[in-house]
Structure 1
Amino acid sequence: MVALTESICWKVVAKGVDSSGIGLVIYKKPVSSSCYETRKDNIPPMCDQNNGQNISWYTPLDSCLAPLPVDGMGNSYSWPAPWPKRLNSKPPHLSAERDAEEIFYEDTEHWSALVLDVYLEGLAINWSSVRNVMDMNAGYGG
């Protein structure tokens, strides 16, 4: 496990063992691709960058590392906004694409209206009577 985590540039942040003898290790992922470029062995290799921003979606699983996103000047993007602000904020990589910000906000408005129309108003469900199925006090749905 140590060889794997070192090869994918993860750093150990904390280690511990509880009273039952079960160990825990917390890792930090890299925030830039510089570590990937300085590895002695290129194992696992870097993924082909032809898929761009969608490299994690709609592609078969492969044993390669996706490069961290960078802007046009080679600077790493910052992490996404925290929840719940992330729900309505545009992803950092959109700033490099023409009209992408406007399209993103139009798409967000479209889906917000659709959810409101269909799920909150269109189904005629009294949402105040819907209980969380994981509610331990529900007493078999009661």
Structure 2
Amino acid sequence: AMSVLTRSMCWNLVNKVKDRVNRVGAAIFQKPMDNRCYDRRSAANPPLCGESDNPDAAWNVSLQSCMHRLPRDPTMRGLRWPEEWPLRVERPPYWLKSSETGVYGKPAPEDFQADYEHWKRVISNSYMEGLGIDWSSVRNVMDMKAVYGGFAAALRNMKVWVMNVVPIDSPDTLPIIYERGLFGLYHDWCESFSTYPRSYDLVHANHLFSKIKKR
């Protein structure tokens, strides 16, 4: 049944292995690179999602048993591989357009770059020296309002792991964070977080609480 479903979803089985000791198996599939396989299917099961369905909607959205078509416009997200590391964490994604306005009001690519340069300065001038942080004891970091993930990007040479949180009432910048090769998720800070805050050694909240007070 699983193989029938994956074939219908146009997933190509690349490799399948099983551990000799504990007999645990793993299968690796490759998703299609374009829509041709979807169009050739004899039965639309599972069906393709409607044009109005937002593939990026992720918060309090009911799951639908459908698949989204791949974008056809070569300038859209998802049609090209990102830059290799570490360039991908430093440069704006190719799909950020100058015609779009960024979070801080500048053209999106310029906004991205300005945010990154800002956090590099703040990390260098304050977090490394002026705040008295013992970085030898810091491993897990949370940025409670990550925006573009610039804070995490500025820490990329440190031996730390950063969870980037995009509040649900903020602009949806999580795809940019992922494109940079960083971790992240959405969250409503009027609700409890799904892990203990004290599991993080450093919690960063830039202009977060002033906004929450207004809700």
TM (norm. structure 2) is: 0.47
**1:8 maps to 2:15:** no
Residue 117 of structure 1, aligned match among 101, 109, 122: 122
The within-5 A match list for 1:70-85 is 70-71=72-73, 77-85=79-87
Q: Deviations over 1:93-131 (max 9, x none)?
A: 445x73579422323423551575389726814253433
Q: Secondary structure at the match of 2:27?
A: strand
Residues in 2 aligned to 1:41 and 1:128: alpha-carbon distance in whole angstroms:
56
Following superposition, the deviation at residue 26 of structure 1 comes to 1.3
Moved more, 76-85 or 63-72: 76-85
Compared CA separation, residues 118 and 16, structure 1 to 2 (3 A): closer
Q: Deviations over 1:47-99 (max 9, x none)?
A: 22335xx62234623221122122179xx82222233322233334445x735
Is contact 2:17–2:27 with CA below 8 Å preserved after alignment? yes
Q: Secondary structure at the match of 1:26?
A: strand
The equivalent of 1:140 in structure 2 is: none
Identical pairs, percent: 26
Q: Which has the larger radius of gyration?
A: 1
**1:128 maps to 2:129:** no
Q: What is the one-letter code of the residue matched to 1:117?
A: V
Q: Which has the higher strand share?
A: 2
Instruction: Please list every run of 5 or more consecutive structure 2 residues that lacks an aligned counterpart in the other structure.
Output: 141-158, 160-215
The equivalent of 1:23 in structure 2 is: 25
Compared CA separation, residues 58 and 25, structure 1 to 2 (3 A): closer
Residues in 1 aligned to 2:108 and 2:91: alpha-carbon distance in whole angstroms:
12
Q: What is the one-letter code of the residue matched to 2:83?
A: A
Following superposition, the deviation at residue 10 of structure 1 comes to 0.8
Residues in 2 aligned to 1:65 and 1:48: alpha-carbon distance in whole angstroms:
9
Deviating above 4 A after TM superposition, structure 1's stretches of 4 or more consecutive aligned residues are none
Q: Which has the higher helix share?
A: 1
Residues in 2 aligned to 1:119 and 1:49: alpha-carbon distance in whole angstroms:
46
Could you say what the CA RMSD is over the residues aligned between the two structures, in angstroms? 3.5
**1:43 maps to 2:45:** yes
**Corresponding pairs, count:** 129
Q: Secondary structure at the match of 1:49?
A: coil
